[in-house]
Amino acid sequence: MSAKTLHPDEKYKAGTLGASMTKFGALAGVVLVVLSLILGAHNDDQWRRFEFGYLTAWVFVFTLCLGSLFVVMIHHVTRSRWDTVLLRIAENVSCAFPFIAILGFGFLLPMLVFDNHQLYFWDWYHAHAEVHGQPFYAHLAKKATFLSPSMFTLRYVLYMAIYSGLAYHFARNSRREDETGDPMISDRLRVHAGPAILLFALTTVMVGFDVEMSLAPEWYSTIFSVNMFGGAMVGTYAFLAILTRVIQRSGRLTRSVTTEHYHDLGKMLFGFNFFWAYTAFSPLLLIWYGNIPEEVVFYRYRWSGSDWQYFSLALLVFHWAIPYTMLLSRWTKRVLPILMFVCVEQMFMHYIDLYWNVMPNATWGSHDGLVTGPLTGPLTSYDYHFALSDWTLLFALFALFIAAVGRRMKGNLVPVKSPTLGASLAFENY
């Protein structure tokens, strides 16, 4: 592969693009947050629904940051060349982590400050000490220290500090390479990326367990966080492709990012789509033939006699089967309108996947006057319905996320002095 240089007429400076994204995202986000609050909470049941909708939207934008950080680290550890022209875009997205961490207090503050315990059942358990010792809560008593508001918050802060530190470390050194042209910076980042990926993996496993899986504290799966990661990568590669196309439509990177790069983005989207499907099917198969009561409840309340079965079927068809089939062909990954359609569809289905994981836990069962928590009670009580606040919260947090990305989008949109830039500019699929 011969190396190339940036075209003399290429516009690779962010200019006012980042500021425009920030202004639009911030304005739209604030308006939609206010609208969501107006729609959201008039009584405890509506407030619980609001909190679950907020958590789902937060996990959606969090996973886009998560996946972008992984893209950056994998680029360095593998000495990847094809995606160098996309590296700065992924760095800008990953550096939104501090803002994502702040948004996370939207579901932490109610239980820490406002004495509202409608989101996590284990938090409700701590707030109602008079029910301790009842047989329904024996499983929670064993986890009382680990699943407590203070320990949960402490771990959350640690997770966000690790992610933010990793994102800023790689982005700061990448920009320093633009200034100094020191080729040793890329070599050092490659060395750093290996341990960073291990730290990233351990942290991501714990985040999945804490933020999502602990919504139903009696149920557990060792592959849950792996599936969350798979979905995050599907959403991330779809988002990076869309964001890159938006940047090109503004007149920037029109010569640097080519059909060849979109083709490989489509390949990565295709690969992680299948990885997500594998990690989603594996626990289903194991739990089905194991047939252990405390394990089957996760799928029982998402299938048997419940409207959630339609979500389950939609995930099978629209999250995996249709996009998998569409991306099998070489040419569909090279025709941008088709690829963009698949990317938008995959981002939407990534949200639906998170919704399917989170929202069934918003219904709490009861027995003999005692609250028994999520995934208990009659199946008919678990019929779903979309609330308008679910959508306003999704677009609100996504708009605020775009604003945070825009704040980082300054200077060069490609690492102009990266040793692998020339190879990336000349990249072709064969």
Residue-wise pLDDT tens digits, 220-261: 889 999 999 999 999 999 999 999 999 999 999 999 999 999
Examine residue 8 and state whether it is found in any structural domain, yes or no.
no
Backbone angles phi, psi at 382, to 5 degrees: -105, 15
Are 144 and 151 in contact by the 8 Å Cβ rule? The answer is no
In which band, very low, low, confident or very high, does the pLDDT at 352 lie, cut at 50, 70 and 90? very high
For residues 35-53, give the mean pLDDT.
77
* pLDDT of the residue at 39: 81
Q: 79-88, 290-299, 337-346: which range is least confident on average?
A: 290-299
The phi, psi pair for 183, rounded to 5°, reads -70, -15
Show the tokens assigned to 385.
């319905």
Q: How many secondary structure helices (H) and strands (E) does the chain include?
A: 17, 2
CA pair distance 51, 49, nearest whole angstrom:
5
Indicate whether 94 belongs to any domain. yes
pLDDT surpasses 90 at 203: yes
* 167 in a structural domain: yes
Whether 12 maps to a domain, the answer reads no
Chain segment 113-158, per-residue pLDDT in tens: 887 788 888 888 887 766 655 666 777 777 878 888 899 999 999 9
Query: Is 389 among the domain residues?
Result: yes
- 59 within some domain: yes
Q: Does 29 map to a domain?
A: yes
pLDDT in tens, 395-405: 999 999 999 99
- pLDDT for 217 beyond 90: no
The pair of three-digit structure tokens given for residue 224, joined into one six-digit string: 């849950």
Q: Please answer whether residues 346 and 319 qualify as being in contact, where contact means their C-beta atoms are separated by less than 8 angstroms.
A: yes
Q: Per-residue pLDDT averaged across 23-44, rounded?
A: 84
C-alpha distances (whole Å) from 89 to each of 92, 173, 372 are: 5, 15, 46
Q: State how many domains the chain has.
A: 1
Has residue 369 been placed in a domain?
yes
| Domain housing 414 | 17-425
With pLDDT > 90 as the criterion, what percentage of the chain qualifies?
64
**394: which residues sit within 8 A by CB, 6+ positions away?**
53, 56, 57, 60, 351
pTM comes to 0.94
